[in-house]
Chain A
Amino acid sequence: MRIVIAEDLVLLRQSMARMLVADGVEVVGQVGEAGALVSAVVAERPDVVVTDVRMPPSFTDEGARAAMLIRSRFPDMGVVVLSHVIEPKVALTLAGPRVDRFAYLLKDSVLGLEEFVGVLETVHAGGTVIDERVVSFLLDTAEHRSLGALTAREQEVLSLVAQGLSNGAIARQLIVSERTVDAHIRSVWVKLGLEPNADEHRRVRAALAWLQDAQRR
């Protein structure tokens, strides 16, 4: 797996690169700002891009905008966005209508070395990973009434779906059978009035969108 890392803090960038190289990931580029990131992506065509949201010169959302650009220009390229803070709106905007090959994580997720490499692999394989803290923030702030219909377990399943986990992964996490997970998901989908859809990517998107809508209504 070939990746490019965009992170303006040299120390952190090098540590990440060292860690990933140790795990057998091929780091083909290390850049410190958004312009260089786009150049590196065009030059190297990596499998996955890891980028910080905030980068020079204005330290606002250069990385996020670069990520948007890359996702629209290179649909097959995985993008992992790392952020210092939880911003559900930014996460959902970046995820866009098609959430495949995308991850949005808090930056300290890199400390879980194996898990982080796992995220890279999931994204490379076409999956989605949304930081659980983003999803739990959405769940916490969603209108109580909207979630009232769901059982605790169903809410848990909805949360895991929104994080991008597959049925198998959910089953492993909840220590239940995949069929049970399947039943839960169907139940949730019916209760929330969502279109039943086998496609896991659309499922993530639907879950996220519903959670976002639940806040506004």
Chain B
Amino acid sequence: MTPRSVVAVCAVPVVAFVAAVPLAVRASGFDDFGNHPVIVLPMAAATITLLLAAALLPGRTHRGTRTCLGWTGTALFVYLTLTAALAWYGGERGARDKLTELLVAAQGVAWAPPITLLTLTFLVALSDLGVNGRAIRRLGRGIVAYSVIVLPFALLTTPPPPDSPYAQLPPVWDAPVLAAVASLLFVPWMLAIFLGPAVAWRALPEAPAEVRGRVLAVALAAMTPPVTIVFCLAATLLAYVAGVLSVEVGAGSLSVAYHLPFVLAGPAVVYALRGPGDTLSARHVTSALTVTVGTPLLIVAVTLAWLLAAQAGAGGAALVVLGTLAFGAVFGVARRRLIRGLLLRVDPVRARAVARLAASDGAASPALELERFVRAVLTEEPETTVSVRLPRGEWVYADSSAAPPPDEPTTPTVHVEPTSADAATALHEARGLVDRAVLELTVRDQEASLRAAAARTQGAAATERKRLERDLHDGVQGRLLALALDLRVAQRTLPGGEAHLVIADAVDALSKAIDELRALSQGTGSDLLSRRGLRAALTEFTGQMPLPVNLVQAPYRLVPAAESVIYLAVCEAVTNAVKHARATRVDIDITTEDDVALVTVSDDGVGGADLRAGTGLQGLSERVAAAGGRLVVSDRTPHGTLLEVTVPCGS
């Protein structure tokens, strides 16, 4: 049975009994026993809904609440029975004996236990939700103990109300001093009605996120007794001022209103515990508000309208109906702001999120800002990571590194690990930031794929250049050499003269051409690099430097694109160390790990190298970035420069 149908089932007796109010007003049997006869109807309805709700709650998880609801219903039934018995015995039969005295006293006090039990129900419901269980149970026991001490005094010493038909009957135990003490002790007991909502509202910020919605629903349900009473008092006062209400009608409406919390407590608690309250979204708060506050207001308004229509004609009804409509209109308009304020008040995660968002200024990287935001908001999980789903379906972390696809993403595009209801709330609050983060990571991803394409192109270019160089050496250079050699042999066979000289000149010209070809292809050192690899080329290069250059370690070969970038970077760094840094020693260290080469070039020079200052380093940085790598230049302590290059070297 779904919570919605539970509420629906409970609504049937409520509506039926409210509809029967005019009939009851007309019935004269209960007219003269102190309370308005209409009281019987909401009392009966409340008894039924309470017992129904208790029966519908599963005993395994909500044993305490179930018990309390049952006892509340039972206590109401006892009150109803006493009232009916007194009406028959004292009212119908007109008996004025010791039994009447006892019935009057008992009926005068029996309304108290249901109220205590109702307050207790809300407290136990909180306890069943796992909120601050021990403190709440202690409080509940305190209330019960206090009631058990105070109520017998009241039962025995309180005389019947002066305006009741039994005013001339003495109290069971005639002790005016004790009666005064008992009525004083009654005040804190009455105030206990506010304990349920107070405890619930206080527990709300500390409640675990999973049950916070339910705690809120309980808090709202616990609000019904004070809210109904205040509303009824206000309505009655208004009606008096307007002069459309007699004392009798006011008393009647009040006695109806006092019982409405009992009618609604059962469905409200069932809704709170079993209803859709897992997350504290605005929609759920609206439903909870409607059920726990809106319904009693509506029912009170309808009841008052019926009573007024019966007693004071259509004009009074119209006033109440208009008043209710006006209230509804104001409530409807203010609802959004009201709920927003309510959510911020009761949900610390949401409140932190709003504060953090208001304090953050335009961050350079929305993705990293989103991760910082989530960590700041979810204070219990400082190691939280945020991953984002890219349009092409892959998941990446805030730093654009690849992330595993989550089984159950927090939202369709963003995942917070470890995920929770709080995480979803935080992301919901930071919708704008989330959008910007997704956009940023998408752009970065596309940049990366462009870089990868550029690196592939560069790799292809390097391979092509290598082939070209080989062709130059082995093809053109060799052919020229063979030609020159043939000419030289031919020259020797000639006896001399002009042809001899012409051939000699041709051989010289060819020899120069060969030299130039060699210089061209050897100028960059790339020939040695492509033929004999990174280590050989670097050894050769460092061997030419006028200061000790220590090649700590270097791989023999890498993919051509990585080799040429690393070679360039090392040459630039060492040249800078010699030319600008006045270094006396340079260390070069090249290691590879997981298809990434890490190059460090450190010197003991004056330092102060800056990517922005020299175009050499700037250009190098761009070359490294084009190969998909990163270049970092920093100062060493006490002095010197450290150049670090990471570049992918996987095939």
Q: Which residues of A contact B (CB under 8 A)?
A: 8-9, 11-12, 14-16, 18-19, 22, 54, 59-61, 84-89, 106-108, 110-111, 113, 141, 143-144, 212, 215-217
Contacts and interface: CB of A to CB of B under 8 A. Distances in A.
Given A15-B489, A89-B539, A111 B474 contact: no
Given A60-B532, A113-B492, A216-B548, A11 B478 contact: yes
B373 to A, nearest CB: 55
A11 B479 contact: yes
Interface stretch (B38-46, B192-200, B511-519): B511-519
A111 B481 contact: yes
Contact of B544 (A11, A108, A141, A144): A141
Contacts of A22: 489, 492
12 contacts: A9-B479, A12-B479, A12-B482, A16-B485, A18-B486, A54-B474, A84-B518, A85-B518, A107-B478, A108-B481, A108-B515, A113-B492
Contacts of B528: 85, 87
B485 A15 contact: yes
Interface in B222-261: none
A14 B548 CA distance: 46
A12 B470 contact: no
Interface string B456-490: 00000000000000100111011101101110110
A9 B548 CA distance: 40
B543 A89 contact: yes
A202 B484 CA distance: 36
Given A12-B485, A84-B518, A143-B546, 7 more contacts: A12-B479, A15-B489, A88-B543, A106-B518, A110-B485, A141-B543, A216-B543
Interface of B: 470, 473-475, 477-479, 481-482, 484-486, 488-489, 492, 507, 511, 514-515, 518, 521-522, 527-528, 531-532, 536, 539-540, 543-544, 546, 548
A85 B522 contact: yes
Contacts of A110: 481, 485
Say what secondary structure dominates the interface of chain B.
helix
Say what secondary structure dominates the interface of chain A.
helix
Given A22-B492, A85-B518, A217-B548, A15 B473 contact: no
Contact of B489 (A19, A84, A141, A212): A19
Given A108-B514, A143-B546, A61 B481 contact: no
A174 to B, nearest CB: 25
A19 B527 contact: no
B543 A61 contact: no
A18 B477 contact: no
A108 B479 CA distance: 11
A59 B470 contact: yes
Contacts of B540: 87-89
Contact of B488 (A19, A88, A143): A19
Contacts of B531: 54, 59-61
Given A89-B539, A144-B546, A8 B518 contact: no
B298 to A, nearest CB: 91
A113 B543 contact: no
A27 B548 CA distance: 47
A62 to B, nearest CB: 11
A6 to B, nearest CB: 13
Given A60-B531, A87-B540, A89-B543, A19 B479 contact: no
A205 to B, nearest CB: 18
Contacts of B532: 60-61
Contact of A15 (B482, B522, B527, B539): B482
A86 B485 CA distance: 20
Q: Which among A15, A59, A84 has the highest number of chain B CB atoms within 10 Å?
A: A84
Contacts of B488: 19, 111, 113
Contacts of A87: 528, 540
B527 A85 contact: yes
Closest 10 A-B residue pairs measured CB to CB?
A12-B482, A9-B478, A15-B485, A11-B482, A141-B544, A15-B482, A84-B473, A215-B543, A12-B478, A19-B489
Given A89-B543, A108-B514, A113 B482 contact: no
Contacts of A59: 470, 474, 531
Contacts of B515: 108
Contacts of B507: 111
Q: Which among A15, A86, A113 has the highest number of chain B CB atoms within 10 Å?
A: A15
B175 to A, nearest CB: 115
B516 to A, nearest CB: 12
B548 A19 contact: no
Contacts of B478: 9, 11-12, 107
Nearest to B507: A111
A12 B532 CA distance: 24
Contact of B481 (A8, A12, A215): A12
Contact of A54 (B473, B479, B518): B473
Given A16-B485, A89-B543, A84 B477 contact: yes
A89 B536 CA distance: 9
A136 B230 CA distance: 107
A96 B531 CA distance: 21
Nearest to A106: B518
Contacts of B514: 108
Given A85-B522, A89-B536, A107 B481 contact: yes
A196 B475 CA distance: 46
A212 B478 CA distance: 30
A194 B485 CA distance: 41
B8 to A, nearest CB: 85
Contacts of A16: 485
A9 B485 contact: no
A216 B549 CA distance: 7
A87 B537 CA distance: 10
A16 B481 CA distance: 10
A134 to B, nearest CB: 12
Contacts of B481: 12, 107-108, 110-111
A11 B475 CA distance: 10
Contacts of A54: 473-474, 531
Contacts of A88: 540, 543
A12 B514 CA distance: 14
Contacts of A111: 481, 484-485, 488, 507, 511
A215 B544 contact: yes
A144 B475 CA distance: 38
A215 B539 CA distance: 11
B523 to A, nearest CB: 11
A9 B518 contact: no
A88 B532 CA distance: 13
A9 B554 CA distance: 34
Nearest to A138: B543
A9 B546 contact: no
Nearest to B548: A217
B482 to A, nearest CB: 4
Contacts of B482: 9, 11-12, 14-15
A111 B515 CA distance: 13
A111 B512 CA distance: 12
A107 B474 CA distance: 11
Contacts of A106: 518
A113 B470 contact: no
Contacts of A215: 543-544
Contacts of B474: 8-9, 54, 59, 84
B265 to A, nearest CB: 89
B395 to A, nearest CB: 43
Contacts of B546: 143-144
